[in-house]
Chain A
């Protein structure tokens, strides 16, 4: 552990460059498994969307696209603050790292807050799949299917964000304890990759869930 802190290369690597690349590739391996998981969900989503276009339009129109757009903007802002935290880490600016990481958590919190309001609204309007689901539509069952996709996909996305909060909070503590240096900031950088990935998932979820059949 202390080896890493000083920017010393662990014995299995030729040089710092190779060590860095290895860390990077490891993180990307994980992210690609995530891409495949969400990819499978999107594939199933696409299949049913083209089977039941009318139900998908009806389901989507119950969603508040303004809240969705607001959340998209919030998440893009949090991606910027995360990128700036990594930028600060590269230049070993400890205070900036902490400030940008905390900003990232706050923006993520706003996103989750809006999500809670949206979910609560769905419960109130009987749009949660299950016994209490009811919509006045000839395609009620298919609309219910749309909402199954909505809750599973946004829920899985939100779970990733909650996990992200924990990781970023840990980074804040590490930065506070002066664990990072110009030579060692891999945890900040890798968390950045994770957070941007979560942002990308939402970039696809937003138009596919909120913006169907508005024209």
Chain B
């Protein structure tokens, strides 16, 4: 494992990319992309996070064990989010927005 010396140049490159992506994410938010808006914002954020994890956090230069360990963590996050959203989106109750509060109702 050679995390001994990642050249500083790589840090500057990742840093510049992160700033550029921040600019893009702000810029793109002002276009109406309809249903894609959330996906694009999420996609850019995930890409930025991946850059930070791989380079700033050295995972790309660490041992395979570390890589699997980190990846497994995110797999569990994905499991949590997937089952949560499956459950939430498949129930037959709905929230009724009203001015006095929000109440849970079953459709009759």
A152 touches B (CB below 8 Å): no
* A200 close to B49 (CB less than 8 A): yes
* B25 close to A21 (CB less than 8 A): no
Query: Which applies to chain B's interface (DSSP): helix, strand, loop or mixed?
Result: helix
Count of chain B residues near A, Cβ 8 A: 52
* A207 close to B41 (CB less than 8 A): yes
Taking CB atoms, residues of chain B closer than 8 Å to A138 are 99
A163 touches B (CB below 8 Å): no
| Segment at the B interface, from A43-51, A153-161, A166-174 | A43-51
Give the complex CA separation of A133 and B55 in angstroms.
43
A72 touches B (CB below 8 Å): yes
Q: Identify the closest chain A residue to B26 (Cβ).
A: A69
- Contact among B12, B29, B100 for A80, CB-based, below 8 A: B12
* B15 close to A196 (CB less than 8 A): no
Q: Identify the closest chain A residue to B47 (Cβ).
A: A203
Taking CB atoms, residues of chain A closer than 8 Å to B77 are 35-36, 39
* B6 close to A28 (CB less than 8 A): no
* A84 close to B18 (CB less than 8 A): no
- Contact among A21, A39, A73 for B80, CB-based, below 8 A: A39
Q: Identify the closest chain A residue to B59 (Cβ).
A: A28
* B76 close to A140 (CB less than 8 A): no
Cβ of B74 to closest chain A Cβ, rounded Å: 7
Using known A-B contacts A35-B74, A80-B11, A207-B45, determine if residue A25 contacts B65 with beta carbons closer than 8 Å: yes
* A211 close to B22 (CB less than 8 A): no
Taking CB atoms, residues of chain A closer than 8 Å to B73 are 28, 31-32, 35
Give the complex CA separation of A47 and B11 in angstroms.
36
Cβ of A25 to closest chain B Cβ, rounded Å: 6
Chain A interface residues toward B at CB < 8 A: 17, 20-21, 24-25, 28-29, 31-32, 35-36, 39-40, 42-43, 46-47, 51-52, 55, 65, 69, 72-73, 76-77, 79-80, 82-84, 87, 90-91, 138-142, 145, 189, 192-193, 196-197, 199-200, 203-204, 206-208, 211, 214-215
5 contacts across the A-B interface (CB closer than 8 A): A39-B77, A80-B12, A138-B99, A141-B101, A215-B33
